[in-house]
Every structure is written in structure tokens, then in C-alpha cells.
Amino acid sequence: MVKDGRTLVPFRKLFEALGFTVKWVEDGAIRKAIGTKDGLSIELTINQTSALVNGKAVALDVPAQIIDGHTMVPLRFVSESSGYQVAFSSSGNAWKIQIGDAVPGTDTGGTGTGTEPDPAPTPAPEPAPNPAPEPAPSPTPTPAPEPTPVPSPSVEEIEPYVVKGYLRNAQGNPLPGVTINADNQLFYDSNMSAVTDENGHYRIELSQMPATWIMSTTFTREYNGKEQRFYLRSDVDQPFAGSSGAIRNFTLKDVVGHIEIHPDFWSFDDSLPQFQMNDLEVTLTPVGPLFDGSAGKSIITRADVLSTGGHGVEKIPLGRYKISATWKPEGHSTMPMLIRVTGTSKFTSSVEFDFHNPLGAPSIFLNQFDTKLDSQT
């Protein structure tokens, strides 16, 4: 199948066809597809936009992902990282993919940076979006004075072979010094970029070739002394023709994390009710301002099944929190729990924590906890 201009194929069939020994690894919410062959190791983590080739991180436009129960991986990246060349041919609406030895003199470097596109059946052309209509001229003001309007971003016009826009947070404040990338959809790993100015504005003059482009950015911001990584697509996440140009703004908003909770089942006496995760009440109290600068508010909720697997709490506004838990089984009195950050040694009644990016994955914010029944109960 083709997704975002990249050809995805079944993981096991591709790796075994290329002579790899395949392995599937699950560690909590982390799921990995790994292939090894003659000293070469390729490791793709599901839903992460980076892969490891012999331990070296390589950025991906489209991550490995599970679609309709099948693990799908980017064909060109895997093949060319293995030293093979990918070729496409077509006849009518049928497309043929051929994988062969690399052409002599071609150096893939084990990073899959071939310049050939992953073609897909040519869709019916879509009309370029019309520019937003200019506001109607204001009527001639009356002699009575009017209040000065709050400054807002200047209205921009679309220019051929130019993409431009603003990067701001949810409060409308500019984010300067961030690299914005325009990804050429015709050639693999072919980007043009610019850095936002003090107003959060950027402008990229595109190469004048018949190609479409898609916009993204990856950057870091410090919060509570820790670097947090973010990945954003433009607010209008659609490809555009270079000859038409476009305005593509970015907004850093709805920044949330999740926590995973692992109970110690051995801490529950046989005389007690059977432990159920949805009987675990979790309290999260903000410690200082949240990442977006707001005061935040306490969250009291029950642990539940996570969309990534396991149990915990999702959609927590990014911030520093103090966490505590109590067990509230039906028909039984409430019992306090002890808790600790996974990997630390001491259980306490509450603990402060920050989020982190697991394995450096941008825009994924996580922490994990162990909990057990308070033995003093």
C-alpha cells in the first residue's frame, strides 16, 4: 500500500525475501520489528519516525505501523539499507516493484537514502486551494475614535515556488529559532528548510521542478530543566504543488502525555477482593506551571486501558505532577497504595515526576510507575 507518498509492505515477507532473520520484540507499549543479516541490523519501532541501522538513528518520513493486523514497513528504506536497489514500472493501472542488487558505484551507506520516488497510481488532479478571501475594506470611520485593535499576523499572499507561514503556540506566541522543513515528495530525503524569525515567521523558496511538497518540523524546548522533543505537521496537513506555492502555519497545541501503571499483584492478600485496574483511583496534582504556562488543575481519575497497550492514564497536559493512588474495590473500604517511578527503589505514598520522550521519540511523552498495597493497611 502507498501512504504519504511511501510504499509500505508486510514486514516479515520483505525481510525474509531479503534473507534476514526476523524478530518481533514487545516491551510494554514499545513494539519493534528487527531484521539481522551478515552483520547488518535494521530495527524499526512501531509508530516512530526514526529507525536504527547498525545502531545508527535514521529519520523516516513514514514510520513502521500496524494496519489491519499486519506490520507494514517502508519498502525503499529497508531495501536500500540492505544494499539493494528498488525499481518501479507500470502498465496501465498496474504497478510492478523490483528489488535487485545495487548498481555498481552506488553507495547506499546503509541508510536508505536513494533518490528515486516511491510512485503511486496518478490520482485525478485536485485543484489547488483558493487563497482565503481578503477581508472586505472597512467602512469609512465615523468621527468617533475607535480602540486600537490587538496586533495580529499580517495577511500573506500565496506566491509560486514559495512556502511560508508562522509557528506559534496555542496562546499565539511565536516560537523563534525553529527549523521548518519542506519535504520534496518526488525524491526521497530531499528537503529544503528555513528557520523561524523572532515573529515565528519562515519563508522557503522552493526549487522550480515539477514536484509536490509536505511540511513538518522537529524541535526541542526546555521544561523544568529537561529537553522535550516535538514533531509537528502543518495545520493544513496537505501536499501542495511547488508551482502553486502555499501558506502553511504551525501551531504547538494539545501537548499531552500518558502514564503506565504496573501493579504488584503479590502485595494483595488472598482475603482481599480480586484486584482490577479500573478500581485504582489515581490523583495527579500539578507542581508549578504546566508546559503551556498555565496553572493547570488536579486530575482524579481511574486507571484504564491505554490506546498504546497496558493500563494507566492518557491525555495528561504536559507538566510536572505529584502522583498518588488508592484502591477502591466495590463493596470494600478504600485502601491506600504505595507508588514509585519504575526503575527507582523506594515506594512512597506519593512521588513527583516529569515526562520524557521514550527512546527520544518526538511528541510522545511518557512515564511509568509501579504500585502496591500499603502494608500498613
All domains of the chain, ordered by start, with CATH?
Answer: 2-101 (3.30.457.10), 162-252 (2.60.40.180), 256-373 (2.60.40)
What integer pLDDT is reported at residue 288 of this predicted model? 96
3-state secondary structure (DSSP) of residue 277: helix
d(CA 339, CA 342): 9
AA letter at 198:
E
pLDDT along the chain (377 residues), means of 10: 74 78 82 85 86 85 80 77 66 60 49 49 56 64 55 77 97 96 90 96 95 96 95 97 96 96 89 91 97 95 94 97 96 93 94 95 96 83
Helix, strand, coil % (nearest 5) of the chain? 5, 45, 50
Predicted structure pTM score: 0.57
CA 171 distance to own-chain centroid: 21
Place of cell 511560508: 164
What integer pLDDT is reported at residue 55 of this predicted model? 86
CA 133 distance to own-chain centroid: 33
What integer pLDDT is reported at residue 107 of this predicted model? 46
What integer pLDDT is reported at residue 235 of this predicted model? 97
d(CA 241, CA 222): 35
Element (H, E) at 98: strand 94-101
Computed over its alpha carbons, how large is the radius of gyration of the chain? 26
Cell of 309: 497497550
What integer pLDDT is reported at residue 96 of this predicted model? 61
Parallel/antiparallel/unpaired status of strands 311-317 and 50-53: unpaired
d(CA 64, CA 72): 6
Those residues with Cβ within 8 angstroms of residue 91's Cβ, 6 or more apart along the chain or in another chain = none
